[in-house]
Structure formats: structure tokens, C-alpha cells
Amino acid sequence: MMAGTMNIGLTEDETELQNLVTEFADTVVAPASYQADRDHQLPMEVVAQMGELGLFGLPFPEEVGGQGGDYMALCIAVEALARVDQSIAITLEAAVGLGAMPIFRYGTDEQKAELLPDLLAGDALAGFGLTEAGAGSDAGATRTTARLDGEHWVLNGSKQFITNSGTSITRFVTVLAVTGETARADGSSAKELSTIIVPNGSPGFTVEPSYDKVGWRASDTHPLTFDDVRVPAANLLGERGRGFANFLTTLDEGRIAVAALAVGAAQGCLDEAVAYAKTRNVFGSPIGSYQYIAFMIAEMNTRVYTSRLAWHDAARRRDAGLPFKTEAAMAKLVASDAAMRNARDATQIFGGYGFMNESLVGRQYRDSKILEIGEGTNEVQLMVISRSLGFEA
């Protein structure tokens, strides 16, 4: 039984989903997590079982092969998985939010028919190529180019930190590239950014060796290079020149899912700390009987509760068609902070045991730092929040 209040305003169907994924996380994901982390290898047998459960199709309509759920459903699943393994949770989040969702939202009927069935079944994965050495939060600094040559796009450049880009079932990567220039009202010009679907295995497209990461070590993450990669002109995803604008919507949604992931991590650390503090005896008494430890865990519980409320609110707003950009940024900010603090506190409570990689809290400590960086750094979240209050830096 997890510590804290879990079912905050969930419907009966959402509670059933939460229980289903929690059981799957405890019985299938958790037993494989240490070895997967140690091997730096995504356990594809676990991914396959996630597909069988329908997790990759959660927020998509049934008519395109989805489960008919919403973004709230996806985030419930992501949180439940992150409680025991962030690498598996981010695999799901990226596969849906960065892989399948742009195809569903911006793809042509032909692109949807060709790509969505396998993505939503979990039989294929896809990545989103945004980040470059000099372009991350500043996507306008993108240098990868795509030149239209007759009936083909010719891509040149590189990307880095691309999730789900090199697995055995990765089908393609959607690449943000400069496709020309657009005129501004003041007479100056700006980069025209578009998104283009690049199938894995395309000549000139190289998935470089995976990174040796501090955390999320079982998550599949690679740098990518493009050397005169030719793909059909029909591989343009969405309207030409709308690549960056479309990605901003994807990013806002992703911040809700990452917030849910962070809450799951914070919850996992809380659960471990509560159990350990009740059974670890020092000087004849459980360490939880000492006020300092009890208060530390009480603060951990409070962080979980408040940050969960934040992502729930952002997800409900998104699903109701209400503005959610600022709420998503606030949820990501407070939840990533909760994950990092809870991981630190849980590791301290466990002492030497918490410093071992076999320890869940030790792995959560390594994993949680990226939550303050990915999907927009926390400094970017503060920028979004302050702008909503009328401040312009």
C-alpha cells in the first residue's frame, strides 16, 4: 500500500487504471529495473507487455487504434510506472507525447494510417529530434537543415539527447529542421522551421552509440546525424513553417506528463522511506520514532500531495480544452523539485544502503536530476510563469 493520498478526484475508471498499472509496475517493472539500469539497456520484453496492456494508446480515440482515454489517463500510467522505474516511465511518456501525438495531431490521413496503428499498439516507437548542441530551450537556434530537391527533402545536421531513437522497434524520428526563411513585419528574416519524418535506416541517417548517462540509464537515448538524408517530400509533418509552433503545444503537454512522472518518483521515495523508518531500529527503537525522521517524511508526503494536485489540475484543464500552459509549467516546477528533494531525503534516511545502486532510492536520486532539466529547464518554467504575470525579461 502506497503512503499518502493517491485517489485525489479520480473517477472509477481512472482508479481502475491506476491499480492496474501499479500492479504491473510492482510485479513486472520493478523486478527488472535494477538489472536494466546496470546494463544500460531498455528491457524490450517489458515494453512489449506495456503494449499488450494498451498503455501506448491511452489518450487516443478508438477509431485510430487507441484506448479512447485522455491525457489524464496517460499521466496516471506514467506516474504509476515512475514510482518504481523512471526509465520505463519516460519511455512511455516520450513514445506517446513525442512519438505518436504529433502524427495524430498534425499528420495527413496517409501518415496516420501508415504509422499510428503500430505506435499505439506498442509494436513500434518513434523519437522527436529537437535538441542540438546549440539549440534546446532556444529552438530558434536550430541548425539542422532540410532542403527541398524535387520530390525529396535532403537533410543535413545533427541532434542530441533523442529518446526512443535507437531501439530495435524504433520506426522513425520526426526532425525539426530549417526549411527556409520567412519575412518579418520589420523587414528582417527568421528561420522557417518545419518537422519532417525520417525513417530509421534511411541512407545517411546514423543513430550514434547511446549515451553513458548519470540517470535514466535504461532509457534509450542517442545522438543522431544526418548526411544528405533523402526522404519523400510527403514526409513533411504538418504545415511547412509551423514546426516550432506545433512543437510548443507538444512541449506544454509534455510538461504535465513529466510532472506526473516526477510525482511518481517522489511517491516511490516516500513509500520506501516510510517502510524503512518503521523497520530499521537504532538504539532499540525504529528510526521513525525520532521526531527529525518523522518530520522529514511528513515533508516528503506533503510534497507528493501538493505536486500531485498541480499536475492533476493541469491535466484536467488540458482535457477540458482550457488554457493550461502556465499550470503545466507550475506543475513541472514543483513536481521536479519534489522528486529531487524526496530522493535526497530518502537516500539520507537509508544511509549507506541508499548509496547503493541496488537501492531504489539511490537510483531515484540519480534519475531525478534530469527532471529539473528535461522538457524545458526549471528556469524556463519560471520564465513561462513570470510572463503569465505580465513580466517580460
For the chain, the C-alpha Rg in angstroms (whole number) is: 21
The answer to whether the beta carbons of residues 171 and 235 sit under 8 Å apart is: no
Cell of 158: 545533427
Alpha-carbon distance of 337 to 329, in angstroms, equals 12
The answer to whether the beta carbons of residues 24 and 49 sit under 8 Å apart is: yes
56: burial class by Cβ within 10 Å (0-12, 13-18, 19+)? buried
- Strand, coil or helix: what is 381? helix
Is residue 14 annotated as a catalytic residue, yes or no? no
Cell of 91: 519511455
Angle between helices 360-368 and 325-350 (to 10 degrees): 140
The answer to whether the beta carbons of residues 257 and 74 sit under 8 Å apart is: yes
Nearest to 18 by CA among 267, 187, 190, 211: 267
Nearest to 345 by CA among 273, 261, 268: 273
The alpha carbon dihedral of 195, 143, 247, 215 has a sign of: positive
Pairing of β 189-199 and β 170-183: antiparallel
Cell of 299: 515533508
Alpha-carbon distance of 143 to 191, in angstroms, equals 9
Q: Of 132, 253, 272, 375, which one is the catalytic site residue? A: 375
- H helix runs in the chain, sequence order: 12-24, 30-39, 44-52, 71-82, 86-94, 101-106, 109-121, 243-279, 291-319, 325-350, 360-368, 378-388
Cell numbers 496517409 correspond to 110
Indicate which residues carry an active-site annotation. 375
